[in-house]
Structure 1
């Protein structure tokens, strides 16, 4: 992937409009892929959408950006004439919740307590370094109207669709969505396929929490489960294990430098993550991920982090 210089460069975005600033969303096409059982994956621009489709209607997981909502609706109608019954948000970022206001007219939105809190309040997001974002408070019609602390189950289409909260991973409001009968799991942005992950330290995320979530989830899943990542192509458990190993190893490499009292600049100059250079991407470069790990390990936190209930 092409890399951008990151030192001294700050990415300033509004989460819900990030894609619109970079490209014309009117040209985005929504693709639909049947994954397994009743579950489909929709891809366009932003986070992957999961959909349970059956006689009872549709349960949608995440809804990308507002300008794509009508296209997403049309894509769903290409699969079934049944209505959308529920929307589940995996976390609060605008590339996963931008369509909330549109779809809330059709179906209630479900999310963890902290998703509603962060959407309602607005505020900063980022790795407390070179990746800095901002999102404005969401309108009332975009807020989840059903929230939960630990988990919630939607019984639809012969499937017990379970949203289970994992604290302080990608954000402080992450949920992983299980479709046990269809043998599919939607991991939100706790697991992505674009390289080093974006961990929203300002939004309550942490490397340790992301690792803990994956290590708890993996043993719960069948060996042949289909994994919908927050971004990227359909995956399997081996892909998740490779990802977790990268997180553990890179965290250990930066932690060693922290224990040796090295500064962030020294760790960048020494290229401590050079063995994992293939994970560097356009969004989260190697230097940006060093920042994430360093800031997380040294306790640099946003003082406005919301307490997990």
Structure 2
């Protein structure tokens, strides 16, 4: 019996040692900077490595008095971000803007100086300072809202500048305009406009050319309001040529954002009509095909089903 127990223990220890070794050898996925316009760069990576492995796109904007970061990827990527930033400029990082609360966009906030001005929407602050931080859908089993990262002494990394509908930072060639148009991916998604560069960073309101993830359960996102929010953004933002999405590793155009709004709202209109006539979600998903003018937008069946179910349920 003792021999069996010893062998079991040795096997268990061996498996654990192998797991630790494999974890230690897990490759660290690289990020790199590319220029968008004068004084504006993006830190990105292969889209297949984003989210769980690196996080969403990070904007790097060089102003007269310092550097503005927009989103900070997942936890642990603060040093990587800083290393890439230092290849561009030696100015201090003065401001961090979060497009929304999620852990793959705010994960490295506490890895920067607590003297930084952290900026976000009012609702993003609410989620970041929330109490339910163990829903298991975030970084290493934490919360999707990343609220565990801002507890205790880390409370100082919570946003100290928040707004409800619109806010402007700086002036002249440094001007950044922040817009909130309503619920969508979460209830705190903002659009970041770099005025001089004629560029908008959308966060996950336009993550990539495909259907969105709607976090209705934990961040009060809404599939039924997502389309209206996109329409308001298209109508409310002007003089834009370039779009930085939440997760794609290439730049998009203003026309792409306009078409994304059309693509999503076309789906929403068809889903609403199908629901009204009693068509099941399964039948709708099986029959749905994106219109020809939106053929460059991917339609993953699983994501389609999830979005349509939310629409049918009025969420």
Of structures 1 and 2, the one scoring higher in RCO (CA 8 A, sep 6+) is 1
C-alpha distance in structure 1 between counterparts of 2:136 and 2:259, whole Å: 27
1:168 match: 183
Q: How far apart are residue 104 of structure 1 and its match?
A: 4.4
Q: Which moved more, 1:83-92 or 1:207-216?
A: 207-216
How many residues were matched structurally? 268
Structure 1 unaligned regions, length at least 5: 1-21, 127-132, 301-309
2:103 match: 94
Change (3 A) 1:181 1:280: closer
Q: Which moved more, 1:32-41 or 1:64-73?
A: 32-41
Change (3 A) 1:55 1:275: closer
Structure 2 unaligned regions, length at least 5: 1-22, 46-53, 138-142
* Contact 1:191/1:240 (8 A) holds in 2: yes
* Contact 2:209/2:296 (8 A) holds in 1: no
Q: What per-residue deviation string (whole Å, max 9, x for no partner) do you get for residues 204-244 of structure 1? A: 22234332233223245556511111111211012112211
**TM-score with structure 2 length normalisation?**
0.76
Does residue 36 (structure 1) correspond to residue 63 (structure 2)? The answer is no
Does residue 211 (structure 1) correspond to residue 211 (structure 2)? The answer is no
Query: 2:287 aligns to what SS in structure 1?
Result: coil
C-alpha distance in structure 2 between counterparts of 1:25 and 1:53, whole Å: 33
Q: Runs of 4+ in structure 1 displaced over 6 angstroms? A: 22-25
More helix by percentage: 2
C-alpha distance in structure 1 between counterparts of 2:247 and 2:240, whole Å: 20
Q: How far apart are residue 200 of structure 1 and its match?
A: 1.5
Query: 1:52 aligns to what SS in structure 2?
Result: strand
C-alpha distance in structure 2 between counterparts of 1:29 and 1:64, whole Å: 12
Match of 2:254 among 234, 237, 249: 237
Does residue 257 (structure 1) correspond to residue 258 (structure 2)? The answer is no
C-alpha distance in structure 1 between counterparts of 2:277 and 2:236, whole Å: 37
2:51 match: none
Q: How far apart are residue 149 of structure 1 and its match?
A: 1.6
Q: How far apart are residue 115 of structure 1 and its match?
A: 0.8
Alignment of 1:1-309 (within 5 A): 27-44=28-45, 45-121=54-130, 122=132, 134=144, 137-138=147-148, 139-140=150-151, 141=154, 142-155=157-170, 158-202=173-217, 203-221=219-237, 225-232=241-248, 233-268=250-285, 271-275=286-290, 279-280=297-298, 285-300=300-315
* Contact 1:273/1:290 (8 A) holds in 2: no
Q: How far apart are residue 279 of structure 1 and its match?
A: 4.2
Q: How far apart are residue 298 of structure 1 and its match?
A: 2.3
Change (3 A) 1:254 1:220: closer
C-alpha distance in structure 2 between counterparts of 1:171 and 1:102, whole Å: 24
* Contact 2:136/2:144 (8 A) holds in 1: yes
C-alpha distance in structure 2 between counterparts of 1:177 and 1:224, whole Å: 11
Change (3 A) 1:48 1:157: farther
* Contact 2:227/2:264 (8 A) holds in 1: yes
Query: 1:254 aligns to what SS in structure 2?
Result: helix
Query: 1:295 aligns to what SS in structure 2?
Result: helix
C-alpha distance in structure 1 between counterparts of 2:25 and 2:180, whole Å: 34
Change (3 A) 1:24 1:104: farther
More strand by percentage: 1
Query: 2:76 aligns to what SS in structure 1?
Result: helix
Q: How far apart are residue 32 of structure 1 and its match?
A: 0.7
Change (3 A) 1:84 1:156: farther
